[in-house]
Amino acid sequence: MADDPEEGMLSWDESVFRDEHVFEIDYVPETFKHRDTQTQNLTYALRPAVRGSRPLNVMVRGPPGTGKTTAVQKLFDEVGTQTSDVRTIRVNCQVNSTRYSVFSRLFEGTFDYEPPSSGISFKKLFGQIADKLVEDDRVLVVALDDVNYLFYENEASDTLYSLLRAHEEYPGAKIGVIVVSSDPTLEVIDELDSRVQSVFRPEEVYFPVYDQPEIVDILDERVRKGFRDGVISRNTVERVADRTAESGDLRVGIDLLRRAGLNAEMRGSRTVEMEDVDAAYEKSKYINLSRSLSGLSDTERALLEVIATNDGGQAGEVYETFHEETALGYTRYSEIVNKLDQLGLIDADYADIEGRGRSRSLSLSYDKEAVLDRLE
């Protein structure tokens, strides 16, 4: 590598990035590519709200990293520029996975301040939200993002029932719901109580995995906005696209570009090379794992660590170790096992054990070291 900065070395105050925020998870692109049909369907469902009526309910499905959250956020931003008579609130159910916490976020979005941390019942919380909507003659559109987490905690039916039946208890309250699920195995309608199924008749909008040309097109735009001219070659971008296509998650590619840029800077290089991409992929490929772990409670993380150290062990044996560490009973243990299985963090498969009948073996869905490193 040359020592002359003019021959490829960065100085201390230089960067390969034009705008590093372009590669961050919360960045909303100005142009939203290859999702025209999905955007049109969402717009169709929300159009009545702009006219002061209750919108159609929507179920948005698709694997992680296919543009679901971005589509909803872009649409909410557009509605906000058109009218002040529609309140749009997106709730991250990975963080807010109970009915009360969901409505706490709705309260905050309605009144622009948080509700009291204690001493207020759900009924009162809900009543204040509904009364405010009726008083202001506003339509509320709620997006339950990552709604699958409400299902994992058995909170989905109660939450949706309260939202969908609001107009019965509070005449004049107009609320529409968008549920967004990233769990391809979750049959949202089938898993809801019959009392909710009878009123939740959503429009369905599906987001498929991006194909290779679409990935290249989207990454090209991020490169133009995020990197300085000449930093990354076409061949290197295509390597990133290949890695992204392997994962099926666009977020892997975007994170990979950022980490590859940081690797280049660590080398003092003005250009991002293949070696930077390959080194970065070892971390970027676990972006879904890191995201799933970030939403786990201390108890859930403790069980996952026990499973990691007893990878492939029988459920009963794993429980004994878990119980020694937490003193929790088998019912709660079983609930957490089911949640970790639904999240795709573990595989809980039944097998015939000689002399013991059928039992579940618990094994990690990811590399053991990758899990343990991220649990620290």
C-alpha to C-alpha distance for 42 and 282, rounded to whole angstroms: 36
Q: How sure is the predictor about 357, in pLDDT bands with cuts at 50, 70 and 90?
A: low
Taking residues 111-117, report their average pLDDT. 91
Question: Is residue 333 a known part of a binding site?
Answer: no
Predicted confidence at residue 271, as pLDDT, reads 96
Q: How sure is the predictor about 1, in pLDDT bands with cuts at 50, 70 and 90?
A: very low
Predicted confidence at residue 231, as pLDDT, reads 97
Instruction: Using alpha carbons, select from 214, 183, 86 the residue that is nearest to residue 141.
Output: 86
Predicted confidence at residue 312, as pLDDT, reads 84
Higher pLDDT, residue 134 or 313: 134
Residue 356 has pLDDT above 80, yes or no: no
The answer to whether the Cα torsion of 49, 108, 159, 292 is positive or negative is: positive
Q: How sure is the predictor about 350, in pLDDT bands with cuts at 50, 70 and 90?
A: confident
177, 160 contact by CB (below 8 A): yes
Predicted confidence at residue 62, as pLDDT, reads 96
Taking residues 255-273, report their average pLDDT. 96
Predicted confidence at residue 5, as pLDDT, reads 47
Taking residues 320-336, report their average pLDDT. 94
Q: How sure is the predictor about 32, in pLDDT bands with cuts at 50, 70 and 90?
A: very high
Question: Is residue 258 a known part of a binding site?
Answer: no
Predicted confidence at residue 81, as pLDDT, reads 94
Q: How sure is the predictor about 9, in pLDDT bands with cuts at 50, 70 and 90?
A: confident
Residue that is written with structure tokens 């070696």 in the block: 275
Question: Is residue 210 a known part of a binding site?
Answer: yes
Residue 353 has pLDDT above 80, yes or no: no
C-alpha to C-alpha distance for 261 and 271, rounded to whole angstroms: 8
Q: How sure is the predictor about 354, in pLDDT bands with cuts at 50, 70 and 90?
A: low
Q: How sure is the predictor about 2, in pLDDT bands with cuts at 50, 70 and 90?
A: very low
Taking residues 95-105, report their average pLDDT. 96
Residue 39 has pLDDT above 60, yes or no: yes
Taking residues 301-324, report their average pLDDT. 93
Q: Which domains does the chain have, with CATH numbers?
A: 36-206 (3.40.50.300), 211-289 (1.10.8.60), 296-371 (1.10.10.10)
Predicted confidence at residue 352, as pLDDT, reads 63
Question: Is residue 66 a known part of a binding site?
Answer: yes
Taking residues 82-98, report their average pLDDT. 96
Question: Is residue 222 a known part of a binding site?
Answer: yes
Residue 68 has pLDDT above 60, yes or no: yes
Q: Average model confidence (pLDDT) for the chain? A: 93
